[in-house]
Structure 1
Amino acid sequence: MPIPLKPPSRTDPLNFPVFGMSWYGNAGNGLSLLAYCGGGGSARTGVNNAILVKEPDGNTKRIDTGDNVGVALKIVQNPVSGNIFLMVALGKTVERYNLPSCEKSGEIEVGGDGVNAINVNIMTNRLACGCENGEIKVYEISDERFDAESLLFVCQGHTNTICSVDFSCRGDRIVSSAKDGTARVWQGEDQIALLKCEVHGGSDEKKKKKPVPKGRKPPQILVRGCAFGELEGRVVFTVASTRRGSAFLGRWVETPEGWECERVEVSDVPISAMSISSDGFLLALGSVSGSIILWGVENWRPIKTFKEVHDLPVTCIAARPYDVPLMSDEDGLRFHAISASADSRLGHLSLQPPPPKPARPGSFGDWLKFFWNLGIKLFVLYLAIGNPLWQDTQERCSHTWARGIQLGKLEQVYECVLHEVLIAPESLPGVMVAPY
Structure 2
Amino acid sequence: MSSIKEPPPPMVLVPPLFDFPPLAARTRMLEPSYNLLFGKLALRSLFEDYFDAANHFSTIFMLKPIEDRHVDLIATVSGPLDNKPEETIVGKAVFRLQSDADDPHTFTDLYVSSSDPILLMRACAYYPKYGFGAFGNFPVLKKHRICSDDYGTLGLRYGSSNLSFGAMLFPYSCMDMKLGDDFLKSSWLVTKVGRLTAGVQYDPQFEKKDGAKYKNLKNWNCAIGYGVGSGSPLSPSFNFGLEFAQNSQFIASFYQHVVVQRKVKNPLEESEVIGITNYIDFGFELLTRMNEEKGSNNIQDSTFNIAASWQANKNILFKGKVGPLSSSVSFSFKSWWKPSFSFSVSAIRDRAIGKTSLGFGLRVDNVREASYQRADPNFVMLTPNKEHLAEGIQWKSGKRPMLQSDVNSGNFDGVPRELRPLSRIL
**TM-score, structure 1 normalization:** 0.31
Higher-Rg structure is 1
- Larger RCO (CA under 8 A, 6+ residues apart): 2
